[in-house]
Amino acid sequence: MKVTISSAAIALTLGALSSTAHADTFHNTNTEIGYEVHISDSQSGKTSEQVRQELVAAKSNKREWFFTNLNAAKPGWMVPTEKTREQVAKERDSITPEERARLDEIYNTGA
């Protein structure tokens, strides 16, 4: 019983919040879908031309757009590196023999 009352209260609250959020753009009508959209009533920060220009700029790099559009992680070859080749070589050369032995024990056991 408590669960039913609580879930009903939550549903009413969410319904009230969503209806006030859409009140400016969506208007109830007696049609098949039950509402009408008035885009001109919404307060937008950008014009349609600005949105179109941003889309063209985003689509200019086809590889980047492919992964962004799919909402997929970018592969390693697309991610910019943080270190230069010289920095990596300097780190490799600065490893002490003790550290190298420790790393060999971790990664080369059983080889």
Within its chain, how far is the Cα of 105 from the centroid? Answer: 40
Residue 42 has pLDDT above 80, yes or no: no
Q: Is the pTM of this model over 0.75?
A: no
Average pLDDT over residues 70-89: 88
Q: Give a yes or no: residue 8 inside a domain.
A: yes
Which stretch of DSSP H or E encloses residue 92? helix 85-93
Does a structural domain hold residue 19? yes
Structural domain count of the chain:
1
The answer to whether residue 34 is domain-embedded is yes
**Any domain includes 80:** no
29 contact partners, CB below 8 Å, separation of at least 6: 35, 36
Instruction: Tell whether 53 is covered by a domain.
Output: no
49: number of Cβ within 10 Å: 8
Helices vs. strands in the chain: H and E counts, helices first:
5, 2
Instruction: Report if residue 95 sits inside a domain.
Output: no
pLDDT band at 72 (very low <50, low <70, confident <90, very high): confident
Residues spanned by the domain of 10: 1-43
4 domain residue, yes or no: yes
Confidence label for 8 from pLDDT (cuts 50, 70 and 90):
low
Task: Give the pLDDT band of residue 101 (cuts 50, 70, 90).
Answer: very high
**In whole angstroms, what is the distance from residue 60 CA to residue 97 CA?**
49
Q: 30 in a domain, yes or no? A: yes
